[in-house]
Every structure is written in structure tokens, then in C-alpha cells.
Chains A and B, each alone.
Chain A
Amino acid sequence: MNRIALVLFAVLLFMGCATQETLYTWNNYEVTSYNYLKNTDEKSTQELIETYKKIIKKQQGKRGIVPPGIYADYGFLLLQTDKKEEGMAMLQKEVELYPESRVFIERILNMVKE
């Protein structure tokens, strides 16, 4: 009986170590990014868009906000797929969340407006 308790305790300890907290939730960002970088086709673009949507929808990390670059890159893909208004709105959100992005993002917004 004691042995079972000990094993359970060990398992709990192990689980405690395994769930280290991170700043952000990323879903399958890296794999879908790789696929997009490698192929840049319709399918990989759609999958990356889906990943961005998931990341924006739910954040469970310590900061509780969307990670750097996600709104902007999502906006970029929307612009690429001719969703101009929606894309520009996402770029604005990047600036709101991360003011240090202003220099770069405003440059892009001006390019899009032209």
C-alpha cells in the first residue's frame, strides 16, 4: 500500500516538473511555419492561418497575451490572400500590443495604402 502511495507521489512530482510555465501558448506554430517556409502553397498557407487563429483565440501562458509577431504575420497572410481590411486591422493590433513594432508596421501600412 505504501509502495503505491510512493509511486503516486513520484508520478505527481514528475508531472509537476513536466508542466513548466511558459510566457505564451504556441500550438503547432513551428511545424506549420516550417511547412509554409518550405512550400508556400495554398495548403501550407491555410494551415498556418489556422494556427494563428488558434494562438489568438486562446493563450494560457504567464503573460496571457498573444506572442510577438503573431498578429502581424497573420495580417500579412490575410493581405496576401486579398483580405486587405482585415489584414490591416491585424497589423494595427500588433502595434497596440507591442509599441516597439510601430516603426516597422507603420512602414508596411503605408506600403499597403499606396
Chain B
Amino acid sequence: MKNILIAAGLAMLFATACTPTATIKKSEAYSGMYAEKPVSILLMPPINRSTNVDAKEYFHSTLSMPIAEAGYYVIPTFLSMEILKKESAYDAELFLEAPLSKFGEVFGADLAVFTIIHKWDKSGIAAKVNVEVEYIMKSTKTNEVLFVRRGEVIYDASISTGGKGLLGALVDFTASAINTAATKYVDVARACNSYTFSDMPVGVYNLNYGKDGNDIAGLKNFKVQLNKD
């Protein structure tokens, strides 16, 4: 009897030791997404709290691809940007805590995605970039946060990305008008966006729609190096 208890105790210890972080399913982590079934997503202009003046554009230009690839309708980036400017709503900071129903009315948006760039630091060594970025998706109907992730990302901009990852493979790097430094930093933002949104429950245009509820969700707060040798 005593031996059995000890064995059971040991087994429990092992079990807890092997699962340092509790895993939860996407259907629990993003229950609101499964309940509301959003289709169209409005990209709010990123909020740049970092010291890099270009970080906003790096992130803004690389948001729509991963979200569309996840199967959602992304409301036209530049057309919506123009209207937000016209309506003096270009500063997304104003809407972080505000009711979003107007965005549902005007843009037909089910969700608004806020991107907050907390940090963008270049360290002198090996062209490493340290980024801290947070993504918040809020329902325009209920104002509830349906998806939130915050990441500390290290990216080595000295490593060429020629065709790395799902989206990288599609990108034609022959664009002439842009200098290579800017292209590299667009890569950094792309990597952050793709990594984060790859955890989203997929949308109606993805073949896997409605089938990913039992998949394990990624960490809400993550720390990752996105390109290693």
C-alpha cells in the first residue's frame, strides 16, 4: 500500500515537472473568436511608443498579409487609412479604451486590430533588433478583447531571409526603390506579425476553418528569437 502511494506521488511529481506551463486549447484561449466568428478585420494604424520613427510603417505594411492568409477579410489598408485620417481617427491610441461600434458601422469591421510597438532597439552587435510588440484584437460589437498577445522578439537583421518561412517564400525581393536597410527592417516587422497571427483561430476563407479549436494555443506573452543560423 505504502509503495503504491509513493509510486503515485512520484508519478504526479513527474507529471507536473514535465508540464511547466499549462497548455490550453485555442477554443479556450480565444473563446470569443469562436463565439463571434468575425469575418472582416480593420487594421488600426500601429501605435508607436518606441524610439524608432519608422517602426510604425514597418508594422503597418506587414499586417494585412498574415491576417488575410489566416482566412480573414482585411479591410482595404490604404482606403481605410484615408478615411481614418479624414475623420481625425488616425491616432489609434484614442480608441484603445473607447467604444468601437462606429468602426463596425463605417467599415463593416467585426474586429479592430491594435498594434502597440513598445520597443524597437538596435544593438550594435551583429545587427540584432530587439522588439517588444503587443497585439490587441477587439470586437466592434461587444468591445471585448478577443485576441491579445505580447512578444519580446529578437531578430538578427544581418541574416538574409531569402524565402524563409511561409510568407517569406512568396515575397519578391527585387523591389528596386527601397534601400536594403529598410527592407531588412520590414522583414523584422513581418516576422513579428506572422509569428503572432499564426496562432489566431483561422477565418472563414481558410480551409481549416472551424477545425482548429482543439489545437494548443501559443503563449499569451512570448519571448522568441525569430531567425537563427
Residues of B within 8 A of A68 (CB): 64, 68, 72-76
Secondary structure at chain A's binding surface: helix, strand, loop or mixed? Answer: helix
CB closest residue in chain B, given A27: B172
Check B108 against A31 for contact (C-beta < 8 Å): no
Interface segment among B2-10, B12-20, B77-85, B121-129: the answer is B77-85
Count residues of chain A with CB under 8 A from any CB of chain B: 43
Determine if B175 and A47 form an interchain contact, defined as CB atoms under 8 angstroms apart.
yes
**A19: CB under 8 A from chain B?**
yes
Q: Mark B215-226, 1 if CB is under 8 A from A, else 0.
A: 000000000000
Interface stretch, picked from B21-29, B54-62, B146-154, is B54-62
The 0/1 profile, CB within 8 Å of B marked 1, for residues 65-88 of chain A is 001111011011100000000000
Does B170 reach chain A (CB closer than 8 Å)?
yes
Q: Does A18 contact B (CB under 8 A)?
A: yes
B160 near A: Cβ within 8 Å?
Answer: no
Q: How far is the CB of A44 from chain B (nearest CB, A)?
A: 7
B68 touches A67 (CB 8 A): yes
B11 within 8 A of partner (CB): no
Given contacts A26-B170, A100-B39, contact A76 B82 (CB under 8 A): yes
The answer to whether B58 and A36 have CB atoms under 8 Å apart is no
Q: What's the minimum C-beta distance from B140 to chain A, rounded to whole angstroms?
A: 12
Give min CB distance, B165 to chain A, whole Å: 9
CA distance A19 to B68 in the complex (A): 19
Interface: A35 (CB within 8 A): yes
Interface residues of B (CB under 8 A from A): 39-40, 54, 57-58, 60-62, 64-65, 68-69, 71-80, 82-83, 105-108, 163, 166-167, 169-175, 177-178, 182-183, 186, 190, 205-207
Q: What are 25 A-B interface contacts by the 8 Å CB criterion?
A: A22-B166, A23-B69, A23-B71, A27-B170, A28-B173, A28-B175, A30-B171, A30-B190, A31-B171, A31-B183, A32-B177, A34-B58, A34-B61, A35-B175, A36-B78, A38-B182, A44-B177, A67-B74, A68-B74, A69-B77, A69-B79, A75-B79, A77-B78, A98-B73, A100-B39
